[in-house]
Chains A and B, each alone.
Chain A
Amino acid sequence: MSELRERRPIRLVVNGQPVEREVAVRQLLADFLRDDLGLTATRLGCEHGVCGACTVMLDGQSVRSCLLFAVQADGTELRTVEGLADGERMHPLQQAFWDHHALQCGFCTSGFLMTALDFLEKSPNASEAEIRQALSGNLCRCTGYANIVDAVAAALKGNP
């Protein structure tokens, strides 16, 4: 439809669950997840696409949810950190982060997990240098990155 709208209904799948809502077109996808769906693990660290804290998976690809409007997610499948674990059983990436002390304050962690998830699927044989490059779009102020790199490397080996 090419009508001009200020609000639109959207239908999408979030973490395997169908969702139907009406959204203001100006609402960012990150705010939709946090405010409308109560999925607050996706966090805002900059709102201009630099820090990576808001990263989610949209149709199987990592994207910055602060640079998407909720209305653009109509008809898509979204995956957030809340959808990584299988009940209480952690995803191997989450387990690896835990085992390797890859988080301190935790605020950037969701973004790193989703970035790593996409990267693992696309580059299963990555070297440490390639892992570092792949993670260089996510900012962390606490850890100095070394343990995050270790956790991703361990998850790559299937050896969390």
Chain B
Amino acid sequence: MKPPAFLYACPRSLEEALDLAAAHGDEAKLLAGGQSLVAMMNLRLAEPKVLIDLNRVAELGFVRRENGSLQVGAMTRHRPMEVSPTVREAEPLLSRVAREIGHLAIRNRGTIGGSLAHADPAAEWPLVAVTLDARLTLRSTVGVRSLRAREFFQGPLTTRAAPTEILTAVTFPVAPTASRFAFHELCRRPGDFAIVAVACRVTLDAAGAARAATLGVGGAHGTPLHVPEVERILAGSRGEEAAIREAGDAAARAAEPGGDVHGSADYRRRMVAVLTRRALRHAFGHPQVPS
């Protein structure tokens, strides 16, 4: 399974990379971590005429906390996200999720920007970006724009990025104080793509009732799915089982899963409800098995 022939460019600056993207448009693909792209090229499912290697563009690798947000350069790899104290202090959901991605060898190379741009609906970074309402920075030779993650994903492996654009950074809000998160993933084996995954963050008031909540579902829809109805259901809740059940049902109703050899649409829909309940019980700090 040898990859097809291509022309290779190795820019050393973002400016060079943008020029190349502008010059070659949809005939080119950006090489980030390569953990998805090179596999697809070996399978000849991707046959770019030009490969623009971003791995020497140093300015795309950074993690910065500024003004209540965490800014992550697109070429930041999963492993640094997993172990970075800055990330863990700003938004520990990101650290938690990073360590679930594949296996160490994949995390050593794969990048957050690559994962977002690849837009696999079962992948972890797209789910978390949508759940936390992250913003993505896209640059081209003609300018820069900022897109909400919730508007970025259009379908499986499809995003709003233009072929001449490079995703350069993703910005996450810093986790509010007095908020708790959970991430639950259903996979056949560790490191596999999720059949269904749920990420959530719940912010509690002084009395321990939810004053804000956000929940996203992965693997059960064409794109990662934010379920706003969950926030409405949980408003003021202390995580009572009835509210959690209702939230699970709402998430399951909102999802439009497809089916494949790992799980039918019907199974995935049911698992959305199950994982939503488990994630919310976890976030509220309740036992996993309601009495």
Contacts and interface: CB of A to CB of B under 8 A. Distances in A.
Partners in one complex: yes
Contact of A5 (B8, B34, B35, B102): B8
Contacts of A64: 35, 105-106, 109
A128 to B, nearest CB: 14
A119 interface: yes
Interface string A74-108: 00000000000000000000000000000000000
Given A62-B105, A63-B109, A134-B104, A2 B20 contact: yes
Contacts of A69: 8, 34, 38
A118 B50 CA distance: 33
Contact of A26 (B2, B108, B191): B2
Contact of B34 (A3, A6, A47, A67): A67
Contacts of A137: 102-106, 191
Interface in A124-150: 133-134, 136-137
Interface residues of B, number: 37
Interface string B123-139: 00000000000000000
Size class of the A contact interface (CB-based, 8 Å)? 35 or more
Interface string A55-66: 100100111101
B19 interface: yes
Contacts of A55: 105
Contact of B19 (A2, A49, A58): A2
A62 B108 contact: yes
A49 B2 CA distance: 13
Contact of B38 (A6, A25, A67, A122): A67
Interface in B76-126: 79, 102-106, 108-109
> Which among B5, B8, B79 has the highest number of chain A CB atoms within 10 Å?
B8
A136 B102 CA distance: 9
Given A47-B1, A67-B39, A67-B109, A2 B102 contact: no
A133 B190 contact: yes
5 contacts: A49-B38, A49-B39, A66-B38, A67-B109, A119-B104
Which 9 residue pairs of A and B lie closest in terms of their CB atoms, listed nearest first? A137-B103, A25-B8, A4-B7, A48-B39, A61-B108, A47-B1, A67-B38, A62-B105, A2-B11
Interface of B: 1-12, 16-17, 19-20, 34-35, 38-39, 42-43, 50-51, 53, 55, 79, 102-106, 108-109, 189-191
Interface of A: 1-6, 8, 25-26, 28, 31, 47-49, 52, 55, 58, 61-64, 66-69, 71-72, 115, 118-119, 122, 133-134, 136-137
